[in-house]
Chains A and B, each alone.
Chain A
């Protein structure tokens, strides 16, 4: 059973400290929600975990599968089984969803076994078709250029499609609910729920409680000013929905000293 363990993580962007000592453990099979107001460092945490070069770790460690992954490149982290669903998925003009997806799967297979010849095309097509059906995506999507001219909802579906195809052990969903209407939110959440199980740990990063009506978390954490200030079970999110973030401000003051 693998787990992602974040220990006292401090991160700066352009020399400005954003994360100021984050501690969190996400185990395979668990769903954690990370909530908090805008600008508190939630996305910084997501990008740092995946290894974006603009985020500078000044202190702390992130352990996954027996190693501190902070020294690894993003592709090596992905090979270990880490996945990030982007808040703002990037368009790659001229590269079709299917071609990209096959390149990603084959890279991961090759990392696991250098002699691997790549996924057989019929098997790949079958998998892709099945998952696209679950996500209620038009099959024509596979030949469209990745995220190029996609609507917000289409982009988020393609993120979940990738997650389903790559089968990560730990997935981070960064504001996957933002920009989605209620129908799209339901479809995307159903897609995520299908991936839930003992093999997958999920960290749902969100500003709103709304998505947690569909993806029920086992644990909820609240981040403010670069730290996790409160952790609890699912009812913490409901408390937050009723009272907003203000009641936590006093807590932050205490934590921040």
Chain B
């Protein structure tokens, strides 16, 4: 018998004196003393900067951050411009359409290097906006001024404020009323760079009676002897009767400390299919909030993550039912290898008067080693009396009898584990009926298991 390992945890009184970022007011994009009164974007950034400065760095004493410790973060070491003496080219498959063969448009943003935009001219003629943030600022400033920062507020958190102030790289999407795009739009942010701090901002706005599938990819190479940083914002509005399928694939390199604030607002009879795939980063804290604001609004949230080595992924989800007859269904599934760790903290909130709400949340985890750990914390806060809300959370380890059964058929151990893990993810893949997404995820699982 092995002696049980006793882990004792010292309680350290953690003070709020974490390092601040070595970023100054002058580092704000397009900062200029003279234009302070003019441009709305600069105004927005300056206001966000002020909020950022007034917010403390989160610590594990803050409820949302209890399980994600930032003491290893070295914010005073980051650079704002990547060093491109040795540019790392993105893997080619990053740009391939993930859904079907054709795309209505693609934007590839490589911070410090440039932006490539390809877009079907017919959709632009129909009034669609699909542009990087700089171009949108130039060509669509009226729309941008009305939408930017409307859904995710700088006040939402330290990193939200920082990203609002600093993001120069971003993508802006607007789908006019009555436009139903059958082919997807694809945004890729590829961001190599040692010790780089990067910021991104995505705005997706669907006017009433419209339709869009959007793929949001964030990626960088694995980098050793580096700690780098990303703070990102995703804000989404789904208008009345509109349908958005939003797929985000996070495959940051192993040196990235990744923070994001995402919020989707779904109006009357709107529908959102929100898909999260997370396999990258050293550490992630992701806030994904859903606001169902109009009667009959529906959202399906499907997440999958696979962690290994010393990765730490923390997904914080909030399903806010703010109107009657709204439906939400969340399923997050994760597998964990080595000493990696995941946190899922979910909350279904039903506002007073949001009767006939149907809310569901479930998180299932599969640990592949004794050292891996998954924390799963569901929550309900219900202030209406005629609702149906349920939740479930499980953490299980890989079944030895399943492994033996597969071994007995000649399947070697790594493939046996891979099959079991793929089987575990199958229910979530059923909710993601896109072969390209499934293929991408499977190939990452395969690489990480070996």
Q: Do A and B come from one complex?
A: yes
Q: List CB contacts (< 8 Å) of A83-125 with chain B.
A: 83-84, 86, 89-95, 99-100, 103-104, 107-108, 111
Residues of B within 8 A of A52 (CB): 404
The reply to whether A92 and B420 form a contact with Cβ atoms under 8 Å apart is yes
Residue of A nearest to B427 (CB): A94
Contacts from A to B (Cβ < 8 Å): 50-53, 73-75, 77-79, 83-84, 86, 89-95, 99-100, 103-104, 107-108, 111, 145, 162, 166
A53 to chain B, nearest CB (A): 7
Binary contact track B399-418/A, C-beta < 8 Å → 1, others 0: 11110111111111101100
18 further A-B contacts with Cβ under 8 Å, apart from A94-B427, A100-B406, A107-B409, are A74-B408, A75-B407, A75-B416, A77-B408, A78-B408, A83-B408, A86-B408, A89-B405, A90-B404, A90-B405, A95-B422, A95-B423, A100-B409, A107-B411, A107-B412, A111-B410, A145-B423, A166-B410
B75-108 to A contact mask, C-beta < 8 Å, 1/0: 0000000000000000000000000000000000
B413, B423, B424: the one within 8 Å of A75 (CB): B413
Using Cβ atoms and an 8 Å threshold, which residues of chain B touch A83? 408
Task: Report yes or no: A92 in contact with B419, Cβ–Cβ below 8 A.
Answer: yes
- Chain A residues with Cβ below 8 Å from B406 are 92, 100, 103-104
CB of A57, distance to nearest CB on chain B (Å)? 16
**Distance A74 CA – B411 CA, assembled complex (angstroms):** 9
Would you call B425 an interface residue if the criterion is a C-beta within 8 Å of the partner chain's C-beta atoms?
A: yes
* The 3 nearest A-B residue pairs measured at CB: A94-B423, A94-B426, A78-B410
Given contacts A100-B419, A145-B423, contact A75 B412 (CB under 8 A): yes
A-B contact pairs, 25 of them (CB 8 A): A51-B407, A74-B407, A75-B407, A75-B408, A75-B413, A77-B408, A78-B410, A86-B405, A86-B408, A89-B405, A91-B402, A92-B405, A92-B406, A93-B426, A94-B422, A94-B424, A94-B426, A94-B427, A95-B423, A95-B426, A99-B419, A103-B415, A103-B419, A104-B410, A107-B411
B392 → chain A closest CB, angstroms: 16
Which listed residue (A73, A93, A145, A162) contacts B409, Cβ 8 A?
A162
- List chain B positions with a Cβ less than 8 A from chain A: 399-402, 404-413, 415-416, 419-420, 422-427
A137 to chain B, nearest CB (A): 18
CA distance A73 to B400 in the complex (A): 14
Pairwise interchain contact A75-B410, C-beta atoms closer than 8 A: yes
**What's the Cα separation between A191 and B139 when bound, in Å?**
72
In angstroms, Cα B416 to Cα A92, docked, is 10
Minimum Cβ distance to chain A for residue B431 (Å): 13
Measured between beta carbons, the chain B residues less than 8 angstroms from A93 are 423-424, 426
- Tell me, rounded to whole Å, the shortest Cβ–Cβ distance linking B238 to chain A: 31
Find chain A residues with CB under 8 A from B399 CB.
90
Q: Are A92 and B410 in contact (CB under 8 A)?
A: no
Beyond A95-B420, A103-B419, whether A75 also contacts B411 by CB under 8 A is yes
User: A94 vs B399: C-alpha distance in the bound complex, in angstroms?
Assistant: 14
A78 touches B423 (CB 8 A): no
Asked, given contacts A94-B424, A94-B427, A95-B419, whether A107 binds B408 with beta carbons under 8 Å apart, the answer is no
Given the known interface contacts A53-B400, A74-B404, A90-B402, the answer about A103 and B411 at a Cβ–Cβ threshold of 8 Å is yes
> Chain B residues with Cβ under 8 A from A74's Cβ?
404, 407-408
Max chain A Cβ within 10 angstroms of own Cβ: one of B400, B408, B416: B408
In Å, the complex CA distance between A108 and B408 comes to 11
- State how many angstroms separate the Cβ of A216 from the closest Cβ of chain B: 27
Inter-chain contacts of A145 with B (CB < 8 A) = 423, 426
Q: How far is the CA of A207 from the CA of B109 in the complex (A)?
A: 69
Give Cα A108–Cα B407 distance, bound, in whole angstroms: 11
Q: B408, A84: Cβ atoms under 8 Å?
A: yes
Distance in angstroms between the alpha carbons of A78 and B406 in the assembled complex: 10
B contact residues around A53 at 8 Å (CB):
400, 404
Interface centre among B401, B409, B411 (most CB of A within 10 A): B409
Question: In the assembly, what is the distance between CA of A158 and CA of B183, in Å?
Answer: 42
Residue with the highest number of chain A CB atoms closer than 10 Å, among B401, B405, B412, B415: B405
Write the chain B residue with the least CB distance to A145.
Answer: B423
Closest partner residue, chain B, to A89 (CB atom): B405
Partner among A50, A94, A103 whose Cβ is within 8 Å of the Cβ of B408: A50
Closest residue to B410 on the A side, CB-wise? Answer: A78
The complex places the Cα of A103 from the Cα of B401 at a distance, in Å, of 18
Q: How far is the CA of A103 from the CA of B413 in the complex (A)?
A: 12
Contact between B410 and A107, CB atoms less than 8 A apart: yes
Q: Determine if B407 and A73 form an interchain contact, defined as CB atoms under 8 angstroms apart.
A: yes
B402 close to A92 (CB less than 8 A):
yes
